[in-house]
Structure 1
Amino acid sequence: MRGQLAGLDCCAGLGNIDFGQADLCVMSQLLTYVDPSDPSFVAAVLAIAFNPLYWNVVARWEQKTRKLSKAFGSAHLACYALGSTILLLNVLRSHCFTQVMMSQPRLESLDGPVTYLLGLVLLVVGSVFVLSSFWALGFTGTFLGDYFGILKDARVTSFPFNVLDNPMYWGSTANYLGWALMNASPSGVLLTGVVALIYVVAILYEEPFTAEIYRQKAAQSHKRS
């Protein structure tokens, strides 16, 4: 309990301290409970970082060479194959995430009904965003079909895309945060921050490409009309 008591002492007099100091205090309390040298923690970070790197590298390679489509004899089959590997990697990522939470200490100040309920709400909201995003995009739209030349008539703007951009990514992040809070896991909260950071990088890399694809499609449609 030494780490927890130190963290609580740190935060004991925050009434007159600004939120920046409070955030640093909370972070120091969380880090007291996290062992980043733990092999399971390292494996989780690698799994979180690898997934977007994998699908972006493979999808860009396909977009430039069409070798996956040629190998499978169909752009749709190739997209299904890539999507299946992404799903498997996401299962592995979630497994690694859960293993870290199970192997590292819980934070007692997070272990209560209010935090559990907040985590459950985040999990439900995140699942709604992920599932509704998948429903709106379909399998090929979700799993990089535009890199395979499989385009919709226009970019999807219906729910949940009319609520926030990249709902699949942020819904997934909410799921991880909710799961971490429900397990009172400071390591889970920290790993959720890694998930969010990696998704921000992925969005910065992917968004301009997707926007350009649909800009070109709109320009071609305008010329034909």
Structure 2
Amino acid sequence: MTDSKAPPVENISGRQEVARWEHRTRKLSKAFRSPYLACYSLGAAILLLNILRSHCFTQAMLSQPKMESLDNPTAYCLGLALLGIGSTFVLSSFFALGFTGTFLGDYFGILMEARVTTFPFNILDNPMYWGSTANYLGWAIMHASPTGLLLTVVVGLIYIVAIQYEEPFTAQIYQQKASLSHKRS
């Protein structure tokens, strides 16, 4: 028998759907007997899928012809700079949020005390998504890959969709937290 509330596997924003389903039902937390263990497991799955995505991205780039206009030292240095900036945003976001903050812990009931406003969040919203996109763009430019450029656009569009799902729902979770805190005091 299947659960009619289970998240659709084919959904473009699958990680958010899994997290929303968990937020509604707490079934992963119950199955793992801990919201932390459930969140760590989801985070590990997301990390493994990101490694697979990066591998497929690289293989797709390397199997296609290069773009001659990007195959030069200046473009390579630009790609390297984008990779450095992107990695800075991704890593500093991770350090600011921690593992559970990065991997949707708030959907598991693992809430941060307050919204993070330190670097890199004081520079731009969603620095992990945009940093990751910069990494793919840098990697594509460094390899002079038109396929990589196209795939970077796809990744960026998927992140835009993810942001549209994630931000309002996360804001709702923290509004509920503030409302409960206000009622208690």
Please give the TM-score of this superposition, normalised by the length of structure 2. Answer: 0.92
Partner of 1:159: 119
Partner residue, 2:154: 194
Q: What is the deviation of 1:222?
A: 2.3
Matches within 5 A, 1:37-56: 53-56=13-16
Q: 1:96 aligns with which of 50, 53, 56?
A: 56
Specify which of 135, 159, 166 is matched with residue 206 of structure 1. 166
Match of 2:18 in 1: 58
Cα RMSD (Å): 1.2
Q: Cα offset for 1:158?
A: 1.0
Q: Which amino acid aligns with 2:78?
A: L
Bigger CA drift: 211-220 or 169-178? 211-220
Alignment check: 8 A CA contact 2:23 2:107 kept: yes
Residue 51 of structure 1 deviates from its aligned partner by 8.9
Is 1:131 the counterpart of 2:91? The answer is: yes
Q: Which ranges in structure 1 are unaligned for 5 or more consecutive residues?
A: 1-49
**Cα deviations across residues 46-95 of structure 1 (Å, max 9, x unaligned)?**
xxxx7962211211111111111011110000000000000000000001
Q: Counterpart of 2:122 in 1: which secondary structure?
A: coil
Query: C-alpha offsets along residues 16-66 of structure 1, whole Å, 9 cap, x if unaligned?
Result: xxxxxxxxxxxxxxxxxxxxxxxxxxxxxxxxxx79622112111111111
Q: Which residue of 2 aligns with 1:182?
A: 142
Q: Distance in 1 between matches of 2:175 and 2:114?
A: 9
Shift of 1:224: 2.3
Please show how residues 77-92 of structure 1 align to structure 2 within 5 Å.
Answer: 77-92=37-52
Counterpart CA distance in 1 for 2:183 and 2:14 is 36
User: What is the letter of the counterpart of residue 79 of structure 2?
Assistant: G
Aligned CA distance change for structure 1 residues 52 and 129 (closer, same or farther; 3 Å): farther
Is the contact between residue 106 and residue 185 of structure 1 (CA under 8 Å) also seen in structure 2?
A: yes
Task: Identify the structure with the greater helix proportion.
Answer: 1
What amino acid is aligned across from residue 65 of structure 1 in structure 2? T
Alignment partner of 1:172: what SS? Answer: helix
Structure 1 residue matching 2:65: 3-state secondary structure: coil
Q: Give the conservation status (yes or no) of the 8 Å contact 2:13–2:161.
A: no
Equivalent residue pairs, number: 176
- TM superposition shift of 1:220: 2.0
**Deviation of the 1:176 alpha carbon:** 0.1
1:221 offset after TM fit, Å? Answer: 1.9
Give the conservation status (yes or no) of the 8 Å contact 1:51–1:90. Answer: no
Distance between the aligned counterparts of 1:92 and 1:57, measured in 2?
20
Distance 2:178 2:120 in 1: 23
Alpha-carbon deviation of 1:223? 2.6
TM-score relative to the length of structure 1: 0.76
1:157 and 1:214 mapped to 2: Cα distance? 15
Instruction: Find the structure with the greater CA-based Rg.
Output: 1
